[in-house]
């Protein structure tokens, strides 16, 4: 899988170029949004949502209950995994062939487990299939691109290991087909390609309750861009070739906001812009 990280300067120039040249429609008005919860360890009593502002869309997604005395989760719903997830998902459907998009939001972390197990978090998720609504034991394999808070680890060129639990990063999954899934779990893990990398492994990279994080997922003719912006910089990882998310559904991708396990988060200041591939040439 070809992956590239870009600097804040390039990110800023790319956004300025797109906004100054291409007309984009307001996807919030032209696309219907839905809520679903599905996948491993989910529960309808835990994995739910609340629309806080219908006019200017602000939505809170939940995936845990919190013990007020201990400050720890009393119940957790769902989990982020390598090739499948159990999630609370507020999403819309995008035409995979006719629509490119940019979806951004400020994410206020209402709560994240202070003793993380590495399977909790939040993000913007794009996938080429949906799980069965309410299916709490379903292992739903799918190709996906996400900018997300999760557990990330890596080994640098000198052999030193780095990890953050939980930090902002990107996860890209591709290579999953119906034929591969029909042969079982081992075949999926053998054939699927996964990239998972944090934007920062520093001591201040850990996600904290009460903080707000700005995240963006962009699809253009180049591929899928996972972008994280903070007060100092903006960084992105790219999964090249948008067709990688058309293996399970050739015509549609599902894009939206997601939480899992020990995390409750509010998504606000949402901007969703739609462009046609003709308006949005490869960069």
Q: What is the dihedral of CA 45, 137, 250, 81, to 10 degrees?
A: 90
Coil/strand/helix, residue 254: strand
Query: Can you give the pLDDT at residue 271?
Result: 95
Separation of alpha carbons 109 and 149, rounded Å: 10
Query: Can you give the pLDDT at residue 282?
Result: 66
Query: Can you give the pLDDT at residue 232?
Result: 82
Query: Can you give the pLDDT at residue 165?
Result: 96
Residue carrying structure tokens 């901007």: 271
Measuring CA to CA, which residue among 121, 81, 107 is closest to residue 263? 121
Separation of alpha carbons 112 and 126, rounded Å: 22
Query: Can you give the pLDDT at residue 283?
Result: 58
Query: Can you give the pLDDT at residue 256?
Result: 98
Query: Can you give the pLDDT at residue 29?
Result: 77
Residues 6 or more apart whose CB falls under 8 angstroms from that of 43 comprise 37, 75, 77, 136
**For the chain, which residues make up each domain, given as ranges?**
3-277
Q: What is the pLDDT along the chain (283 residues), one digit of tens a residue?
A: 444 444 333 333 233 233 323 345 677 778 999 999 999 999 999 999 999 999 889 999 999 999 999 999 999 999 999 999 999 999 999 999 999 999 999 999 999 999 999 999 999 999 999 999 999 989 999 999 999 999 999 999 999 999 999 999 999 999 999 999 999 999 999 999 999 999 999 989 999 999 999 999 999 999 999 999 988 889 999 999 999 999 999 999 999 999 999 999 999 999 999 999 999 876 5
Query: Can you give the pLDDT at residue 24?
Result: 54
Query: Can you give the pLDDT at residue 2?
Result: 42
The DSSP bridge partners found for residue 48 are 62
Pick the CATH number of 3-277 from 3.20.20.70, 2.60.120.200, 1.10.10.10, 3.10.28.10: 2.60.120.200
Query: Can you give the pLDDT at residue 84?
Result: 96
| CA geometry: angle 130, 134, 140, nearest 5 deg | 40
Query: Can you give the pLDDT at residue 86?
Result: 97
């Amino acid at each position: 899988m070809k992956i590239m990280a870009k600097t804040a300067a390039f990110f800023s120039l790319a956004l300025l170029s797109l906004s100054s040249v291409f007309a984009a429609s307001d996807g919030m008005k032209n696309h219907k949004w839905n809520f679903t919860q599905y996948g491993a360890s989910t529960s309808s009593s835990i994995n739910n949502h609340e629309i806080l502002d219908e006019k200017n869309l602000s939505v809170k997604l939940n995936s845990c209950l919190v013990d007020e005395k201990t400050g720890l989760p009393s119940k957790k719903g769902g989990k982020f995994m390598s090739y499948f997830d159990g999630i609370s998902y507020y999403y819309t459907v995008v035409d995979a062939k006719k629509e490119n998009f940019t979806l951004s939001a400020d994410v206020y972390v209402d709560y994240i487990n202070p003793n993380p197990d590495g399977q909790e978090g939040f993000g913007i998720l794009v996938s080429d299939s949906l799980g069965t609504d309410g299916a709490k034991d379903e292992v739903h394999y799918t190709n996906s691109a996400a900018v997300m808070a999760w557990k990330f680890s890596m080994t640098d060129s000198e052999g030193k290991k780095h990890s953050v639990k939980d930090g902002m990063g990107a996860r890209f999954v591709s290579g999953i087909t119906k034929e591969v899934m029909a042969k079982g779990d081992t075949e999926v893990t053998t054939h699927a390609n996964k990239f998972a990398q944090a934007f920062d492994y520093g001591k201040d990279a850990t996600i904290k309750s009460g903080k707000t994080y700005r995240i963006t997922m962009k699809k253009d003719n180049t591929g899928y861009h996972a972008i994280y912006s903070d007060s100092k910089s903006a960084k992105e990882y790219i999964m090249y070739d948008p067709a990688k998310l058309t293996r399970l559904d050739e015509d549609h991708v599902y894009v939206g906001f997601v939480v899992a396990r020990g995390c409750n988060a509010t998504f606000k200041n949402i901007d969703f812009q739609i462009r046609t591939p003709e308006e949005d040439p490869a960069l």
